[in-house]
Amino acid sequence: MPHGNDSYEYVVHVQEIYTDWLMHKRYVVGVSIGLWDMAGNTAYYCLVVLVSVYHLPEELDPDDRIPDELDGVPVRVQEVGTLTAGAFDAASG
């Protein structure tokens, strides 16, 4: 997957370039950096696009589809539901 530009700094750079574009896609609620474990072998940095509801690409309008990679950085989509600031309740764990 990665094309030799898989340093953390490079992934941060790619994240900075594409976050605004990704955030305008339907269901996207955040963009993060994570590790992609390549079948138990080597883990690579990747962009993690957080979505409120996961949909298969063919279920989305073409403009709302999230690419598998951006500038050589793998992209993972993770369903997280609706995010609300300050919604964590420490008492409920």
What would the pLDDT profile of 2-19 be if each residue is shown by its tens digit? 455 569 999 999 999 999
Cα–Cα dist 93/84, whole Å = 16
Average pLDDT of the chain, as a whole number: 87
Residue 67 is part of a domain; what is its CATH number? 3.30.300
Q: Beginning with the edge strand found earlier in the chain, give each strand of the sheet holding 28-37 in spatial order.
A: 28-37, 43-51, 73-79, 69-70
Cα–Cα dist 13/42, whole Å = 22
Q: For position 41, what pLDDT does the model report?
A: 72
Of 25, 33, 16, the closest CA to residue 67 belongs to 25
For residue 87, being part of any structural domain is answered with no
Please list, in sequence order, all residues whose beta carbon lies within 8 angstroms of the beta carbon of residue 85, skipping any fewer than 6 positions away.
none
Percent of the chain with pLDDT over 90: 69
For residue 1, being part of any structural domain is answered with no
For residue 72, being part of any structural domain is answered with yes
| Whether pLDDT at 58 is above 90 | yes
Domains held by the chain: number:
1
For residue 69, being part of any structural domain is answered with yes
Tens digits of per-residue pLDDT, 22-44?
999 999 999 999 998 767 777 88
